[in-house]
Structure 1
Amino acid sequence: MPKPKKNQVVTPQPQADKLARALGLTMPLYLKREDLHPLKSHKGRSLPPMIDHYLKFGHSNFVISSSGNAALAAGLYLKKINSSQKNKINLKIFVGKKIPADKIKPLQALTNKNITIVQVTNPKQSAFLAQKQGAVLLRQSLDNLAPKGYADLYDELRRIKELKTIFIPTSSGTTLAGLFMASKGKIQLNIVQTDFCHPFVKSNLPTPQKSLAGAIVDKVGHRKTEVLKALKKSKGAGYVADDWDIKNAIKLAYKTEKIKLSPNSALALVGLLHALIKGWQPKGAIALLITGK
Structure 2
Amino acid sequence: MIALLSTDSSRKISKKTKHVRSAGDWTTLILLITAALLVLFPLLVLTVNAFKTSADYNATGPLSLPEHFTVEGIVSFWTTTKFPLKFSNSLVISLFVAVAAVILSVLNSFALGIGRVKGNTWIVLAIMLANMMPQEALLYPLYTMFKQMGLYNTRLAIIIIFTIIQSAYGTYLLSSVYGTFPQAILEAAAIDGASRWQILRKVVLPISWPTISVLFVFFFVWTWNEYMIPMAFLMGDDVQTIPLALATLQGQRTMEATTLASASLLSIIPTVIFFIIFQRKLSQGITAGAVK
Shorter-chain TM range is under 0.3
TM, length-normalised to structure 2:
0.24
TM, length-normalised to structure 1:
0.24
Question: Which has the larger strand fraction?
Answer: 1
Q: Which has the higher contact order (CA 8 A, sep 6+)?
A: 2
Question: Which has the larger helix fraction?
Answer: 2
Question: Computing the radius of gyration over CA atoms, which structure comes out larger, 1 or 2?
Answer: 2
